[in-house]
Amino acid sequence: MKIWLQEILACPIDKHYPLELLILKWETITEEIEYFWKTYQDKNIQEIEKEDILKISEEKNDIKVRDNIVLKSTSIVEYLKLILESILELRNVKDLTDVKFIEVILSLLQNIVKEKIEATLYAIPNEKNIEKLKKNFKDILPDLYLINKIKVDAEIKEGLLFCSKCNRWYPIIDTIPQMLPDKYRNKKEELKFLKTWSKELDEINFLQKELAPHKIKAKSNDSKN
């Protein structure tokens, strides 16, 4: 599952949105995610442009943009607003893997990157020179590259989606979110899933919630109940 999918999924029982996403294991290898991170840190514009993620065109005194998050060519103002909305959705994402720099990336996207994009967005109405507008946009290319790579290219192998309204949880198994009505769920397999990841889930007190439709007890004294 890609992180962007969390933006459109709702609980099939009560239609609550957004769902919380807990990441337990990455399908994408760590080295690949590290490469995204290094390219961003190095501000490697040449490499970013070579990947051709952002499609940019000029139209009169405006710039239109599309990428792997905003699929339709959109005026720069609306495009940046949509990117900010996508960044805000990361509030509902928690990485529980041992890839520690992922939490750093998620925090950076929600703070520094968000602030840079907001500053660019607020400056646009006062900027009538297309060349200066293009330069302002180019300054945030690494930030836009990083959000695209994390949201669209990085794949989650194991995780779960959680509805805070009805306390239902839905496992992500082998990259596929298992979002079935209660009567079609496999209790034995899902309890096994919770037990497999009990250490990671217990660290954030997830197992202490009144989970539905089934749950295991939180661990006590490093032993499973």
pLDDT tens, residue by residue, 61-102: 788 999 999 999 999 999 999 999 999 999 999 999 998 899
Structural domain includes residue 183: no
Q: Which of 65, 42, 74 lies closest to 137, judged by CA?
A: 65
Q: Is residue 140 part of a domain?
A: yes
Ranges 16-30, 123-137, 141-155, 190-204: which has the least confidence: 123-137
Q: Which residues contact 154 (CB under 8 A, 6 or more apart)?
A: 2, 3, 26, 28, 32, 33, 36
Inter-helix orientation angle 130-139/141-148, to 10°: 50
Give the amino acid at 138.
K
* 182 within a domain of the structure (yes/no): no
- Give CA–CA dist 107/119, Å, rounded: 18
Q: Please state the domain count of the chain.
A: 1
For residue 52, what are the domain limits?
A: 28-153
Give pLDDT, residue 127.
62
Question: What secondary structure, in 3-state letters, does the chain show?
Answer: CEHHHHHCCCCCCCCCCCCEEEEEEECCCHHHHHHHHHHHHCCCHHHHHHHCCCEEEEECCEEEEECCCCCCCEEHHHHHHHHHHHHHHHHHEEECCCCCHHHHHHHHHHHHHHHHHHHHHHHHHHCCCHHHHHHHHHHCHHHHHHHHHHHHHCEEEEEEEECCCCCEEEEEECCEECCCCHHHCCHHHHHHHHHHCHHHHHCCCHHHCCCECCCCCCCECCECC
108 found inside a domain:
yes
For residue range 10-42, list pLDDT tens digits in order: 999 999 999 999 999 999 999 999 999 999 999
Amino acid at 202: D
